[in-house]
């Protein structure tokens, strides 16, 4: 889960979350923005890249 407090989410925020997913080898994340007035804004982001195998 990535938490933000911004007026609007931009593509760079989504890319950062995808990088976190790739680095941790996880499949799913929530990008949550508390700064979007008047409601909470959220995105469900899936990592569709092939999984890395550790030796």
* Mean pLDDT of successive 10-residue stretches along the chain, which has 55 residues: 93 95 92 92 90 69
Cα–Cα dist 32/24, whole Å: 19
The pLDDT of residue 55: 62
The pLDDT of residue 3: 94
Is the pTM higher than 0.85? The answer reads no
Q: Are 44 and 26 in contact (CB under 8 A)?
A: no
Cα–Cα dist 10/52, whole Å: 28
């Amino acid at each position: 889960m990535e938490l933000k407090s911004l007026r609007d989410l931009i593509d760079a925020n989504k890319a950062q979350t995808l990088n976190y997913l790739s680095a941790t080898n996880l499949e799913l994340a929530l990008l949550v923005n508390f700064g979007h007035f008047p409601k909470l804004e959220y995105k469900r982001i899936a990592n569709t890249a092939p999984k890395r195998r550790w030796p």
